[in-house]
Copies of this chain bind each other. A is one copy, B any other.
Amino acid sequence: MKILPEKTVERLSQYRRTLNNYVAEYGKSRIYSHELAALLNITAVQVRRDIMFIGYTSVQRKGYNIKDLIQVIGNIIDSPDSINVAVVGYGNLGKAITTYFAGNRPKLKLVAAFDIDPKKVGSEVNNVKCYSIERMREIVALNDISIAILTVPTHAAAEMAKVLIQTGIKGILNFTTVNLHVPSNIYLEEYDMITSLEKVAYFVKHRPLG
């Protein structure tokens, strides 16, 4: 299949989670595009267009079969084989992410954490165990980890990214406020809390009231 637009991938992830919650809460088996849209504060057209992208079709006028749709989304955005993930930096943020991550994501598994602090090594949150940085290469290889979530302090970020890339990781989700530089075969996603907050501040002040 052709590669999907970035924004569509983001929304598909959200559709899936929203649909799972919706089933759990209301027990319905079908949903209209405008209903799903309302749950996400977007438009029904947007939903239908995204669903068109992944090639799922329902019977007209009956809404989408939720179970099927969840499955099709999974076939598209999940990889066939499970992907293993590690958290690097096991402070408050690393632990928070581990907690957020709990839940049934059959194709995406948080399998290890790393920290330089000997006091943290050996600790566990949600069955995710913390190893020393020295053992990173070994543990990454052993568990076939391909994505790292980087939550170390600012001063350690660049060096840690370098080490991670040496271990053979393929993607980094960067929570630090440092601008990382990675080879072009590594997928880098920046996740910048301060920028998000400054953006909220700007639009709270400047946005036309509506």
Contact = CB atoms under 8 A, between A and B. Distances in A.
Interface of A: 3-4, 6, 9-10, 13-14, 17-18, 39-41, 77-79, 83, 85, 91-93, 95-97, 99-101, 105, 107-108, 146-147, 149, 151, 170-173, 177, 179, 181, 184-185, 187-189, 191-210
16 contacts: A9-B198, A9-B199, A9-B203, A10-B199, A13-B198, A13-B199, A14-B192, A39-B179, A77-B198, A79-B201, A79-B202, A83-B201, A101-B194, A108-B197, A171-B200, A187-B200
Contacts of A173: 196-197, 200
Copies of this chain per assembly: 2
Contacts of A172: 200
